[in-house]
Amino acid sequence: MVDSSRAEPVDLTDVSIDDQFWNGWIETNRETTLEYQYEQLESSGCLENFRRAASGDSGGFEGMWFADSDAYKWLEAASYVLADGDVDSDAGLDESRRNELEKRVDDIIDLVASAQEDDGYLNTYFALEEPEKRWTNLNMMHELYCAGHLIEAAVSHYRATSDSRLLDVATRFADHIGARVDDEIDGAPGHQEIELALVKLARVTDEQRYVELARTFVDRRGRNDRFEREFERVESIAGYDPDDGGIATDARGAFYEDGEYDGSYAQAHEPLPEQETVEGHAVRAMYFFAGVADVAAETGDRELLERLEKLWENMTSKRMYVTGGIGSSEHGERFTDDYDLPNETAYAETCAAIGSVFWNQRLFELTGNARYADLIERTLYNGVLSGVSVDGTEFFYDNRLESRGDHHRRGWFDCACCPPNVTRLLASLERYLYARGPESLYVNQYVGSTISTAVAGTAVELEQTTTYPWSEDVTIDVRTEDPATFSLELRVPSWCTEAVIRVNGDEVRAGENDTSGEAEYVTIEREWDEDRIEVTFAQSIVPVRMHPAVGENCGRVALTRGPLVYCLESADNDRPLRQYSLDLEGEQRTRKDDELADDLENAALSNPVVIDCDAIAPSLESWESDDEGGATESSGTDRPPLYQPDDRVSTKSETVTAVPYFLWDNRDPGEMAVWIRSA
Residues forming contacts to a second copy in the complex (CB under 8 A) are: 306, 309-310, 313, 316-318, 320, 322, 367, 369, 371, 497, 516-518, 542-549, 551-552, 554-555, 557-558, 576-579, 581, 584, 617-618, 620, 623, 625, 628-629, 632, 634-635, 637, 639-646, 648-649, 677-678
CB-count burial class (<10 Å; 0-12, 13-18, 19+) for 635? exposed
Supply angle C-alpha 381, 412, 607, rounded to 5: 30
CB of 374 to a second copy, least distance (A): 11
Which C-beta is closer to a second copy: that of 360 or that of 367? Answer: 367
Half-sphere exposure of 620 (CA within 13 A, CB side): 6
Phi, psi for residue 535 in degrees, rounded to 5: -120, 135
Sign of CA dihedral 212, 218, 221, 222: negative
Q: Rounded to the nearest 5°, which phi and psi values hold at 332?
A: 80, 0
> Distance between CA 445 and CA 431 in Å, rounded?
10
Q: In terms of CB distance, is 209 or 310 closer to a second copy?
A: 310
The C-alpha atoms of residue 250 and residue 80 are separated, in whole angstroms, by 36
Q: At what angle do helices 95-115 and 143-161 cross, to 10 degrees?
A: 140
Strand, helix or coil at 349?
strand
Question: Rounded to whole angstroms, what are the CA distances from 499 to 82, 211, 494, 512, 537?
Answer: 37, 41, 11, 7, 5
Q: Is the dihedral of CA 98, 100, 102, 104 positive or negative?
A: negative
CB of 78 to a second copy, least distance (A): 37
Residues forming a β-bridge with 275: none
- Closest CB to a second copy among residues 579, 655: 579
* For a second copy, the closer CB: 416 or 559: 559
The residue among 53 and 363 lying less far from a second copy, judged by its C-beta, is 363
The Cβ of residue 642 has, within 10 Å, a number of other Cβ atoms equal to 7
Nearest Cα residue to 425 out of 359, 365, 370: 359
Closest distance of CB 82 from a second copy, Å: 38
User: Which is nearer to a second copy, 103 or 547 (by Cβ)?
Assistant: 547
Write the DSSP string, 486-524.
EEEEEEEPTT-SBEEEEETTEEEE-SB-TTTTS-EEEEE
Nearest to 658 by CA among 571, 537, 598: 571
Q: Which of 261, 172, 273, 275 is nearest to 225 (CA)?
A: 261
If the CB atoms of residues 366 and 390 are measured against a second copy, the closer one turns out to be 366
- Decide: helix, strand or coil at residue 437: strand
Ranges of H-type helices in 384-537:
418-426
Name the residue nearer to a second copy (CB basis): 60 or 551. 551
CA 453, CA 11: separation in Å to the nearest integer?
Answer: 9
Q: How far is the CB of 510 from a second copy (least distance, A)?
A: 20
Nearer Cβ to a second copy (172/677)? 677
Q: How far is the CB of 296 from a second copy (least distance, A)?
A: 15
The minimum distance between CB 488 and a second copy, in angstroms, equals 20
Taking the complex as a whole, the smallest distance from the CB of residue 620 to a second copy amounts, in Å, to 7
Closest approach of a second copy to the CB of residue 352, in Å? 17
Closest to a second copy by CB, 164 vs 579, is 579
Q: Which is nearer to a second copy, 480 or 497 (CB)?
A: 497
Smallest separation, CB 428 to a second copy (Å) = 27
> Whose Cβ is closer to a second copy: residue 111's or residue 550's?
550
Which residue's CB is nearer to a second copy, number 87 or number 620? 620
In the complex, the smallest distance separating the C-beta of residue 187 from a second copy, rounded to whole angstroms, is: 32
Shortest distance in whole angstroms from residue 579 CB to a second copy: 5
Q: Which residue in 660, 602, 611 sits closest to 22, CA to CA?
A: 602
> Alpha carbon of 13 to those of 19, 30, 84, 350, 425: distances in Å?
16, 16, 6, 26, 15
Q: Supply the minimum distance, in Å, between the C-beta of residue 37 and a second copy.
A: 33
Which DSSP helix (H) or strand (E) runs through 533?
strand 520-537
Kind and range of the H or E run holding 654: strand 651-660
Q: Would you give the distance in Å from CA 148 to the centre of its chain?
A: 18
- Smallest distance from the beta carbon of 292 to a second copy, in angstroms? 16
